[in-house]
Amino acid sequence: MKIDAHQHFWRYDPVAYPWIRTDVLRHTYLPADLRPQLDAAGFDGTVAVQARSTWEETAWLLDLADEHSWIAGVVGWADVANPQLPQQLEAHADRPRLCGIRCGIQSSPDGGPSGAFLTGIAVLTDADLTFDLSVRPPQLPLATRLVQATPHQRFILDHIAKPLIKDRAVAPWEADIRELAAHPNVACKVSGMVTEADRAAWQPADFAPYLDVVLDAFGADRLMIGSDWPVCRQAAEYGEAMGVVEAYLGALSADEQSAVLGGTAIEWYGLDSRLKVIELQSDQIQHS
C-alpha cells in the first residue's frame, strides 16, 4: 500500500486557525477534496495530522476516519505535560485509528525536556502511541535529548525539521539530523519541503542535498513520504509535492521505494494492527 503519512483537514475559521495567513489556505479542506488527489497520485490511504491544539479537533478527525476507511490513522493533539493525559487518552481508547500525538516540546531551564513532558511521553509509550516531533532546525538538539531520554518511545520527525531550503543552508541542520537519526527509535517524514524552498521558483534539484542527508542518516526503512496537503498548496499542488520525492526514489531498490511510499508509515504508526482492530469490532457488531 502507498500511504501519505502527513496531511490535514480543517473547516476554515480565522479565529480557530490564526496560523493560516495565505489566501490559498483560507478555505475548508475535507476528505472529499483530498480523495481525487490521492487517486490521481496512486495513493491508497493517509494519516491525518492535527492542525489545531484542541481535543475537539482530534475527536473530529477520528470521526472523519470512521467515515472514510482510507484515513488509516490520526495524529491528534494533546498537552503531553498535562497530568490528566492518561484520563484524556482513556476517553479515546475505543478509537483505534488514533495512532499518535503531536504537540510542542516543553523544555526545562537546563535546556533538556521538562520532567512533566518526560512523564507524559511514558504515558504515550504505555498507550502504544507515537509522538510526532514538529520542530525547526534550532530545536533539533532538544529533540535529540528527548529521544535519547525515552528510548522505548517511537518518535517521528515531521518535515525533515524544515531546513532553510530557500537559502540552500545545509549546516548545522545536517549534523543535528545525523545526531538525531543515530537513535533507532526515531523515523522521519520526507514532507513539507516545497514550502521551505523558493515557493514560486523551486526546482526538483533544490531538494536533493537534503534528501541525500536523510536517506543516508535514517535509511529507507525509517523514512516515510508525506504531502503536507493542503499546506503544500502554497508552493505546489498535491501531485507535484509528492512527485519530488517519488522522482528521487527512482534510483532506489524496489524494497526501499516500497518502504518510503508506505511500509515505514504502516510499521511505525501500527496501521495494520489498528485496522485489524477496526475489522474485528465491525465483525462483532454484525454478529451481535
Note the pLDDT tens digit of each residue in 8-48: 999 999 999 999 999 999 999 999 999 999 999 999 999 99
Burial 257-272 (b: 16+ CB within 10 A, else e): bbbbbbbbbbbbbbbe
Instruction: Cell numbers for 170, please give them.
Output: 545545509
ω before 204 within 30° of 0 (cis)? no
Residue that is written with C-alpha cell 493542503 in the block: 230
183-194 mean pLDDT? 98
Q: Is the pLDDT of residue 288 over 70?
A: no
Instruction: Specify the 3-state DSSP secondary structure of 275.
Output: helix
Report the chain's C-alpha Rg in angstroms. Answer: 18
Domain 3-287 top-level CATH class: alpha beta
Query: Percent of the chain scored above 90 by pLDDT?
Result: 91
Longest dimension (CA), the chain: 60
Q: Where are the beta strands (DSSP E) in the chain?
A: 3-7, 45-49, 71-77, 98-102, 130-133, 155-157, 186-190, 223-225
